[in-house]
Amino acid sequence: MIEAQTEKQNEELKRNWIAACHASALLGLALPFGNILGPLVVWLMNKDRYREVMLEGKLALNFQITASIILLVGGGLLSGLCILLPMMVFTFIGFGLVSWIPMILAGIKAYNAYHGQEFEYPCSIRFIK
């Protein structure tokens, strides 16, 4: 009985850490590069404890690094275009709205991971293998 209860608690804790790998990316809303630092800290703390956390942490980190690179390059290009073409302000506002997409996807992934459902990030370069 105690062993079954411990197993259930261990499984619940593992699901919480898996969800935290993805949800911690929301730290990017408050801190620059918090979307990378949050998953990195959760992954480093628990990668040796749970195999699933190690795998999900890599997924979260790879996606957030990819999204950050895309947003930095895209923001740089749009900034250059805004200097050349003043009407590009509307595009810059649209880019600001697009920058929320990685945060929304991280929230969806955290929810699905906690409930044991599959959800793949749409594009991600595997920086961490």
Q: Is-above-0.85 flag for pTM?
A: no
- Please compute the mean of the pLDDT values over residues 28-35 and round it to a whole number: 88
Q: What is the pLDDT of residue 83?
A: 67
Q: Residue 97: pLDDT above 80?
A: no
The segment with the largest mean pLDDT, out of 5-14, 26-35, 59-68, is: 59-68
76-87 burial: b if 16+ Cβ within 10 Å, else e: eebeeebeeeee
Choose among 14, 53, 31, 35: nearest CA to 107. 35
Cα distance between residue 69 and residue 81, in whole Å: 18
pLDDT digits (tens, 9 = 90+) for 43-77: 999 989 989 889 999 999 999 999 999 888 887 77
State residue 61's pLDDT score: 93
Q: Give residue limits of the domains in the chain.
A: 2-114
Q: Name the percent of the chain lying above pLDDT 70.
A: 84
